[in-house]
C-alpha cells in the first residue's frame, strides 16, 4: 500500500514502532475534537503517516480541554488531546488564507486518505469540497464523518456524542431502569463513527488497487450507533419487543448480570447456555431441574425469583471465593474494576494495552495502547507522542510545495 510520494517524506517522519501494514501511506487529518482525530490515530497506529492540520495559534480545541493536564508551562497538555492524537505531525494552516490553502492543496496531492468531520457544506463554502480534493488527487480517499448524516432533514444539526446517544436510542436501553436513561461512560458515538470510518477507508484502499481511484466514505455518529444496535434493533423491528433499560441484566438471557457478595464487591456472571446453567445452579444451591428455572425461557419468566436466590447465595461469601469457584467449573465470571485496577492488571499489560510514549516535553508517559497486535510483534510497541501545535509546520510546508 505504499504511496508513490512516500519517498519524499522528511526523514524525521519515521515511526518509533517500526511501522505497520499501512506504512508508506499518508493520512491528512483535517478533523477536530474526537471522532475524526480518533479515526486518524487508528490509521496511524496501523502504520500510516498522519499529518494533523490545525488552526494557527489555536489548534484543535481539545488542546485546552481540562483538567486534567500534564506538564507545566508551555508543555502543559490536555490528557484529552493526548488520548486521540499520538503518531501524528502537526501543521497550522488557515483555510481562508490563500498561501495556506496552496500548502493544503499540496498536501492533498500527496495524501492517500483525508479525514474530516466538518458539518456538511462547510468545506464547500470554503471552496474546499470533496470534489475539489479529488480533482487535485483522483486517488484520494476522503473519510467524511458527520453527526446525523450528510443529507436528509437533520443533516445540519450539530453532532455531539451525548445528544446522539439519546437520539439514537442508546440511552433508552442503558441505565438502572426505564425511568433513568443513562449515557455510556465513554463517547461511544464518536468512537464507533471513527472506527466505521476506518473500516470504510480500508475497503476503499482495497478497491483503489483495482480501479486506481479513490472515493468518498461517509459515516455519521447517528449511523454508527444504529449500526451497533444489532440484536436490540432486530428485537424491535422484527419482534416488536421494545428494548428498555434493565440495569446489569441481559434482555434475553438469565441469570446474567452483577450480584453483590459478602464483602460488598460485585461479581458478574454470564450463564449463556444450558450447559453453563447445569454447572452454575449447583454452585449456588439451586436445583437445575426446578421447573421455574429448567430452561432459559422459564428463567426469564421467573427472573425476579431467580435473581433473589442468586443474590442471597452470593451474599454469603466474598467475591474472590465466588470467582475462584465459578471459574473452576467453567462459568464465565468477573469482578467490576476501576481503571486504576485495570491498568495495573498483568493481563492488560501482557497484551500491550498500556503504551509507552517518550515525550520530550513531558517525559515518559503511559497511555491506552492499540488493541491490534501483529503476529510478528511483541506487545507494548512504542508510539510517538501527540505533537505540539505546528511542530512540523516548516518541514511540511517544504514537502507540500516540492514537486518531485
Which residues are known to be catalytic?
A: 190
User: Nearest to residue 253, comparing CAs of 290, 306, 291?
Assistant: 306
Closest CA to 173 of 221, 229, 223: 229
Which distant-in-sequence residues (6+ apart) come within 8 Å of 366 by Cβ? 343, 354, 355, 356, 357
Q: Which residue has the cell 421494545?
A: 242
Q: What number of CA atoms fall less than 13 Å from residue 170's CA on the CB side? A: 25
Closest CA to 184 of 194, 193, 202, 172: 172
Dihedral-angle region of residue 121 (phi above 0 means left; psi in -120 to 50 means alpha; beta otherwise): left
User: Is residue 83 a contact partner of residue 368, using CB atoms and an 8 Å limit?
Assistant: yes
Phi and psi at residue 230, to the nearest 5°: 40, -120
Upper half-sphere CA count for residue 365 (Cβ side, 13 Å): 22
DSSP strand pairing (69-70 vs 49-54)? unpaired
Give the angle 52-143-227 at the CA atoms, nearest 5°. Answer: 125
What kind and span of H or E run contains 162?
helix 161-167
Q: Which residues pair with 258 in a beta bridge?
A: 268
Instruction: Judge residue 140's burial from the number of C-beta atoms within 10 Å of its C-beta, 0-12 exposed, 13-18 middle, 19 or more buried.
Output: buried
**Beta bridge mates, 115:** 29, 143
| Buried b / exposed e along 80-100 (16+ C-beta atoms within 10 A) | bbbbbbbbbbbbbbebeeeeb
Q: In whole angstroms, give the CA distance from residue 37 to residue 141.
A: 16
Is residue 356 helix, strand or coil? strand
Place of cell 483535517: 30
Amino acid at each position: 500500500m505504499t504511496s508513490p510520494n512516500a519517498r519524499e517524506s522528511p526523514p524525521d517522519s519515521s515511526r518509533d514502532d517500526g511501522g505497520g501494514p499501512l506504512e508508506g501511506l499518508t493520512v491528512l487529518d483535517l478533523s477536530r475534537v474526537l471522532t475524526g482525530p480518533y479515526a486518524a490515530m487508528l490509521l496511524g497506529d496501523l502504520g500510516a503517516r498522519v499529518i494533523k492540520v490545525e488552526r494557527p495559534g489555536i489548534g484543535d480545541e481539545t488542546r485546552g480541554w481540562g483538567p486534567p493536564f500534564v506538564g507545566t508551562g508551555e508543555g502543559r497538555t490536555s490528557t484529552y488531546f493526548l488520548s486521540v492524537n499520538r503518531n501524528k505531525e502537526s501543521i497550522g494552516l488557515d483555510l481562508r488564507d490563500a498561501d495556506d490553502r496552496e500548502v493544503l492543496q499540496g498536501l492533498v496531492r500527496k495524501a492517500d486518505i483525508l479525514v474530516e468531520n466538518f458539518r456538511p457544506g462547510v468545506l464547500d463554502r470554503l471552496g474546499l469540497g470533496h470534489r475539489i480534493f479529488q480533482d487535485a488527487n483522483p486517488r484520494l480517499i476522503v473519510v467524511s464523518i458527520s453527526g446525523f448524516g450528510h443529507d436528509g432533514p437533520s443533516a445540519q444539526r450539530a453532532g455531539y456524542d451525548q445528544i446522539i446517544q439519546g437520539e439514537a436510542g442508546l440511552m433508552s436501553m442503558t441505565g438502572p431502569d426505564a425511568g433513568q436513561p443513562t449515557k455510556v461512560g465513554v463517547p461511544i458515538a464518536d468512537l464507533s463513527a471513527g472506527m466505521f470510518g476506518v473500516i470504510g477507508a480500508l475497503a476503499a484502499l482495497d478497491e483503489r488497487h483495482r480501479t486506481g481511484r479513490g472515493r468518498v466514505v461517509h459515516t455519521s455518529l447517528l449511523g454508527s450507533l444504529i449500526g451497533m444496535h444489532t440484536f436490540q434493533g432486530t428485537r424491535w423491528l422484527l419482534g416488536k419487543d421494545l428494548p428498555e433499560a434493565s440495569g446489569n441484566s441481559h434482555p434475553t438471557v438469565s441469570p446474567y448480570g452483577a450480584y453483590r457478595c459478602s464483602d460488598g464487591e460485585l461479581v458478574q456472571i454470564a450463564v449463556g447456555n444450558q450447559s453453563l446453567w447445569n454447572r452454575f445452579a449447583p454452585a449456588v444451591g439451586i436445583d437445575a431441574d426446578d421447573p421455574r428455572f429448567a430452561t432459559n425461557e422459564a428463567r426469564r419468566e421467573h427472573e425476579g425469583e431467580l435473581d433473589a436466590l442468586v443474590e442471597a447465595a452470593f451474599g454469603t461469601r466474598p467475591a474472590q471465593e465466588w470467582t475462584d469457584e465459578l471459574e473452576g467449573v467453567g462459568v464465565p465470571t468477573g469482578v467490576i474494576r476501576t481503571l486504576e485496577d485495570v491498568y495495573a492488571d498483568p493481563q492488560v499489560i501482557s497484551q500491550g494495552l498500556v503504551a509507552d510514549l517518550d515525550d520530550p516535553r513531558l517525559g515518559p508517559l503511559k497511555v491506552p495502547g492499540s488493541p491490534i497486535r501483529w503476529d510478528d510483534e511483541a506487545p507494548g510497541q512504542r508510539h510517538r507522542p501527540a505533537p505540539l501545535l505546528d511542530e512540523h509546520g516548516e518541514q511540511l510546508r517544504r514537502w507540500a510545495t516540492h514537486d518531485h
